[in-house]
Amino acid sequence: MAAQARLAALSAPTVPPEPEVDDELRELEDISRSLEGHTLSAATRRAYATAWRAFDDFCAGHGLEALPAHPETVRWYVAWMSTQLDDDGLPRFSVATIRQRLAGIGERHLRGGYLDPTAHRGVVDLVRGLAKLRATRPRRKRPLLLDDVVRIIAAMEHDTYPGGVSATRDALAVWLGFAGALRRSEAAALTLNRLELHAVDGVHVHVGASKADPENALPDVVVLPFGSSPASCPPCAVHRWIALLGLARHDDARMRRRGIMQQLFSYGLEEHVCGVVDSVALISSADLASGAPLLRATYRNRKDARIHARGVSGDALHTMLLSRMVEAGMNPAAYGFHSLRAGHVTQARRNGASTEEIMRAGRWSRAATVDVYDREFNPAARNSVMRLGL
């Protein structure tokens, strides 16, 4: 095992610096540890921790050394993952999952001052071979177009109590995914103070740090434009939901219910409530001066509805959309919350939007990413087959 360790990794310095530690150095050490904690996102840290525990268990079960690990040990682990099947007889670990597991193993080694055994040529070639063996087209979520979005929202019970509370929130979430082209994690992370009412554009949304921009260094503003009708107006959805948040803060349960019912029964989706076309806006910029979550969890029974202080999760938004599709009489099998973002691309392209315009709206950095949606879900556009004169 000692020879294995020598092949696997380079040890950290055997004699680390040992200065006389005073209060200032202890404070600097605490700061340095805190900064290290922000190198990876919370989701990535959880995924890496899971990857390392699984690898450590594999090594323990086979009498192998996990840290530092020999590249051959990692190869055996990859081979083991490639043979595991789920209850339906399908591979339990996709190639993407295997690569994520290897990334976690590599990160643990580098953090411990060792060489990364997953970067060994033998490991890299093994994964590449497995990827070719399993080569299949990625299963992308089908897009939801504007008519689909309007149908889903229209099927919600907006003018009932207490069901209208969650319907108001869910309508806004759907518009954030479609008009704002937000990922579910981005929509779930929004706070009230990231929204800005705009007299001409509608609502500006500052997305902040995201999956594609973890350092929050790129332009992050997306626009929710005024709609031609109240049923297709994202700013109206913003106004309706945030107005409910204000009413839900009332301590007196009876007054709270009365205020919420009055709003649900008065506005529905029949008239603008965002200040456009001479309508009266339900909220003002003062209602956005809080760092509280925008999309929040709700609780309701037959008689009451409460809006919690905590925000919803991205997974909850995904589940919500599928449930709302079923209520609208749609089959959700090939869809997910990402279908709204994909639908933004597909609908915009069908309406003549350029690649540059779509990239700006969805904050894509590569035109090829936009083209993937275009080729798969709008294949007749800009296609010479339409000029054959058939």
Encode pLDDT of 111-125 as tens digits: 888 999 999 999 999
- Taking 50 as the threshold, does the pLDDT of residue 8 lie above it? no
For residues 173 and 237, give the distance between their C-alpha atoms in angstroms, rounded to a whole number: 9
For residues 345 and 374, give the distance between their C-alpha atoms in angstroms, rounded to a whole number: 7
For residues 339 and 122, give the distance between their C-alpha atoms in angstroms, rounded to a whole number: 38
- 82, 101 Cβ separation under 8 angstroms: no
pTM for the predicted model, two decimal places = 0.71
pLDDT band for position 375 (cuts 50, 70, 90) = low
For residues 348 and 139, which has the higher predicted lDDT (pLDDT)? 348
Return the minimum-mean-pLDDT range out of 35-49, 55-69, 128-142: 35-49
For residues 301 and 321, which has the higher predicted lDDT (pLDDT)? 321
pLDDT band for position 4 (cuts 50, 70, 90) = very low
In this structure, what token pair is assigned to residue 288? 């956005």
Amino acid (1-letter code) at residue 313:
S
* Annotated domain spans of the chain: 2-10+23-133, 146-375
Dump pLDDT digits (tens) for 65-89: 999 999 999 999 999 999 988 877 7
Q: How far is CA 218 from CA 102, 184, 210, 215, in A?
A: 29, 19, 10, 8
- 144, 178 Cβ separation under 8 angstroms: yes
Distance, C-alpha 32 to centroid of its chain: 29
pLDDT band for position 162 (cuts 50, 70, 90) = confident
Dump pLDDT digits (tens) for 180-210: 999 999 999 999 999 999 999 999 999 876 6
pLDDT of residue 6: 43
Domain covering 2-10+23-133 in this structure, CATH number: 1.10.150.130
Distance, C-alpha 203 to centroid of its chain: 21
Looking at every residue in the chain, the average pLDDT score rounds to 84
pLDDT band for position 366 (cuts 50, 70, 90) = confident
pLDDT of residue 140: 74
> Tokens 């991205």 sit at which residue?
314
pLDDT band for position 7 (cuts 50, 70, 90) = very low
- Taking 80 as the threshold, does the pLDDT of residue 389 lie above it? no
pLDDT of residue 260: 85
Taking the chain, what is the end-to-end CA distance rounded to the nearest angstrom? Answer: 71
Which is nearest to 296 in space by CA: 282, 308, 278?
Answer: 308
pLDDT of residue 271: 86
Sign of the CA dihedral running 323, 325, 328, 334: negative
Count how many residues are written for the chain. Answer: 390
Backbone angles phi, psi at 245, to 5 degrees: -60, -40
Identity of the highest mean pLDDT range in 7-16, 207-216, 335-344: 335-344
pLDDT of residue 263: 84
Task: Pick one of 1.10.10.60, 1.10.443.10, 3.40.50.2300, 3.40.30.10 as the CATH number of 146-375.
Answer: 1.10.443.10
- 274, 232 Cβ separation under 8 angstroms: no
In this structure, what token pair is assigned to residue 352? 């003549």
Stretch (H or E) spanning 349: helix 338-350
For residues 200 and 58, give the distance between their C-alpha atoms in angstroms, rounded to a whole number: 59
pLDDT band for position 10 (cuts 50, 70, 90) = very low
Return the minimum-mean-pLDDT range out of 23-37, 82-96, 272-286, 294-308: 23-37
- Taking 60 as the threshold, does the pLDDT of residue 285 lie above it? yes
Sequence-ordered list of residues with C-beta below 8 angstroms from that of 61, at least 6 positions apart, any chain: none
For residues 339 and 248, which has the higher predicted lDDT (pLDDT)? 339
Dump pLDDT digits (tens) for 245-270: 988 888 787 888 888 888 888 876 78
Sequence-ordered list of residues with C-beta below 8 angstroms from that of 185, at least 6 positions apart, any chain: 43, 210, 211, 314
Backbone angles phi, psi at 363, to 5 degrees: 60, 35
DSSP 3-state of 264? helix
Which is nearest to 346 in space by CA: 206, 140, 138, 139?
Answer: 140
